[in-house]
Structure 1
Amino acid sequence: MTLRETAFAKINLALHVRRRRGDGYHELETLFAFVDTGDELVARFAPRDSLRVTGEFGGALDDPFGNVVAKALNALPHGAGWDLTLEKNLPVAAGLGGGSADAGAVFRMVRHAHGLPDDWQSRAAKLGADVPACVESVACIGRGTGTELEPIANDLAGLPVLLVNPRIPLATGPVFKAWDSVDRGPLEGNDLRTMALNGRNDLEGPALSLVPEIRDVLQVLQQTGAWLTRMSGSGATCFALYDTTQVRDAARTAMPPAWWTLAGKLR
């Protein structure tokens, strides 16, 4: 039996950092959305677990067996073993939840083959704050550290989106550390479009202080006819939302060739 899953790229349409918690984490309010493309995983039943990483960004994972895909598999009952191949198409440390999306895809594969245990949400949360949202990979609100999920009316499904990264990795920890601790208020609105337009990314300023090239990406995207441009997560990937695929594709063509781009639609 062969299982196939796409690890859908995650973007944060808005990311509000409300306070620094006593446990060292941050209290968040975020709008999760997902693009209809990303990494690709293939699994075949085998006597024991194995993992092979390919793709443009496969070399960025120094220890495939210590990455979140292997941890996700180890966290779930899945039979004797799986021979897994991960095609790493998303850049690493890019604000796209790439590792979390990969883990979410593993959860869906296990659900298809064996079913998930009743406590799968807590098992997912232990792997990373974005993993629970990535299991279903549908638009939702994340609160707490991002693991407390709420449904949201999704009026943006099918909307063309362009992802752009200056090919500079940016670790999450230093970005949060550079946050100025100012609470700029909650999410506002009742549907995805309104909340996104009213929202912001509180990590954009800290990320710009570490990777100024993000500003170049945002400035270029803002000239392409998008109705919303913003940095995703802790960066350095930025996204732009368009009303038509033609405008999006023209925008992608206009990007500097040195930058990484990915065109898709919101799920």
Structure 2
Amino acid sequence: MKIMEKAAAKINLTLDVLRKRDDGYHEVEMIMTMVDLADRIEMQELPRDTIIISSQAGYIPLDEKNLAFQAAKLIKDRYEVKHGVYIHLDKKIPVAAGLAGGSSDAAATLRGLNRLWRLGIGDQELRELGAELGSDVPFCVTGGTAVARGRGEKLEFIDSPPGCWVVLAKPPINVSTADVYGKLRADRIERHPDTAAVIEAIRQKDFQALCGGLGNVLEEVTLSLYPEVRQLKDCMVRLGADGVLMSGSGPTVFGICAKESKATRVYNGLRGFCKEVYAVRLLTKENN
């Protein structure tokens, strides 16, 4: 039997860092939602006790360094599954882009193996497993739209934002999340996003207020380290996207547009500036 799972990319509508914790992690508060750019994960049971991963993408690890591999090993060990599994990753989400591609693959693997092996694990338990793999994985297990706190594992699910188009652009560089957080001085952040105002804008389906409330405290660090990201953000603003923000620690920048015609104009304008550009819909409860 084969199981297929979709692993959607996430973007941060807000990303705030409140303080550095005693355990070395940062206390965050951020609003995450998903877009219709997705990897496809195919899983097939193997008779021998092994995990095999393949992908058409030549730039990702296919061993224990891969988060999907780690997810499969975690669920096999925790539930004493003696079967093996073959996992194929059809990659569409850019790697090391601030879009949680690896985390979403891991979450899809947890969901798929739960079905393949009929383990009957509930969503909360799947999210707890995901938290052992990475801070974004619990959110990716369920998807939707959520406020994430703590290290990102404490989730409060909220309404979907108003439907819109999202143009994503990734410059040809990779950004280390650890490096960005390492250079962030949480005690010197001058302007924090107003998370409560953005939650209210989403609740009211107020697109303009949502655009005005976008904010990411990691932008200042990444934009100072990588001028290409600043240039890309400035270009997207000039092209007329309604709201523009860097996702996660970067380097992907996204623009949200109320109308498809504007998204198309932004997309076409960026194509000459950046190779990896995508125009997709925001995933809402209506089109998920």
TM-score by length of 1: 0.91
| 1:44 corresponds to | 44
Q: 1:53 aligns with which of 52, 55, 74?
A: 55
Q: Distance in 2 between matches of 1:46 and 1:245?
A: 44
CA deviations on 1:55-103 (whole Å, 9 max, x unpaired) are xxx2222444421000111111466122110012222211111110111
Q: Structure 2 counterpart of 1:8, which letter?
A: A
Give matches, 1:189-204, under 5 Å.
Answer: 189=197, 190-192=200-202, 194=209, 197-204=212-219
Residues 166 and 255 in structure 2, CA contact (< 8 A), matched pair in contact too: yes
Runs (5+) with no aligned partner, structure 2: 284-288
Residues 51 and 64 in structure 1, CA contact (< 8 A), matched pair in contact too: yes
Greater shift in the superposed pair: 189-198 or 244-253: 189-198
SS in 1 for 2:14: strand
Q: Structure 1 counterpart of 2:258, which letter?
A: D
Give matches, 1:57-96, under 5 Å.
Answer: 58-76=57-75, 77=79, 80-96=83-99
Residues 41 and 86 in structure 1, CA contact (< 8 A), matched pair in contact too: yes
Is the aligned partner of 1:225 residue 2:248? Answer: no
Q: Distance in 2 between matches of 1:83 and 1:159?
A: 36
| 1:104 corresponds to | 107
Q: 2:143 aligns with which of 137, 140, 147?
A: 137
SS in 1 for 2:132: helix
Greater shift in the superposed pair: 239-248 or 115-124: 115-124
| 1:30 corresponds to | 30
Q: Structure 1 counterpart of 2:87, which letter?
A: L
Runs (5+) with no aligned partner, structure 1: none
SS in 1 for 2:89: strand
Q: Distance in 1 between matches of 2:32 and 2:112?
A: 21
Is the aligned partner of 1:266 residue 2:275? Answer: no
Q: Distance in 1 between matches of 2:67 and 2:43?
A: 15
Residues 2 and 45 in structure 2, CA contact (< 8 A), matched pair in contact too: yes
Is the aligned partner of 1:180 residue 2:185? Answer: yes
Q: Distance in 1 between matches of 2:274 and 2:245?
A: 20
| 1:14 corresponds to | 14
Residues 53 and 62 in structure 2, CA contact (< 8 A), matched pair in contact too: no
- Inter-CA distance 223–196: structure 2 relative to 1 (3 Å threshold): closer
Higher helix share: 2
SS in 1 for 2:96: coil
The higher radius of gyration belongs to 2
Q: Distance in 2 between matches of 1:73 and 1:35?
A: 25
Q: Distance in 1 between matches of 2:97 and 2:8?
A: 14
Q: Distance in 1 between matches of 2:214 and 2:259?
A: 22
Q: Distance in 2 between matches of 1:259 and 1:234?
A: 20
SS in 2 for 1:236: coil
Q: Distance in 1 between matches of 2:82 and 2:36?
A: 29
CA deviations on 1:126-152 (whole Å, 9 max, x unpaired) are 100000000111111000111100022
SS in 2 for 1:12: strand
Q: Distance in 2 between matches of 1:250 and 1:64?
A: 41
Q: Distance in 1 between matches of 2:136 and 2:68?
A: 14
SS in 2 for 1:218: helix
Residues 170 and 274 in structure 2, CA contact (< 8 A), matched pair in contact too: no
Percent identity between the aligned chains?
32
Q: Structure 2 counterpart of 1:188, which letter?
A: A
Q: Structure 1 counterpart of 2:70, which letter?
A: K
- Inter-CA distance 152–195: structure 2 relative to 1 (3 Å threshold): farther
Indicate the RMSD between aligned Cα atoms, in angstroms.
1.9
CA apart distance, 1:108 = 2.1
Q: Structure 1 counterpart of 2:65, which letter?
A: G
